[in-house]
Amino acid sequence: MAESTGFTDFENVRLDPIRLIDCHGEPHPFHFQRRLLGDRVALDAFELRGKLRAG
pTM, entire model: 0.66
Contact 37, 43 (CB under 8 A): no
pLDDT digit string (tens) for 7-42?
A: 666 677 889 999 999 999 999 999 998 888 877 788
DSSP letter string, 3-31: HHHT-TT----PPPPEEEE-TTS-EEEEE
Burial class (CB in 10 A: 0-12, 13-18, 19+), 38: exposed
Q: What residues does each domain of the chain span?
A: 2-54
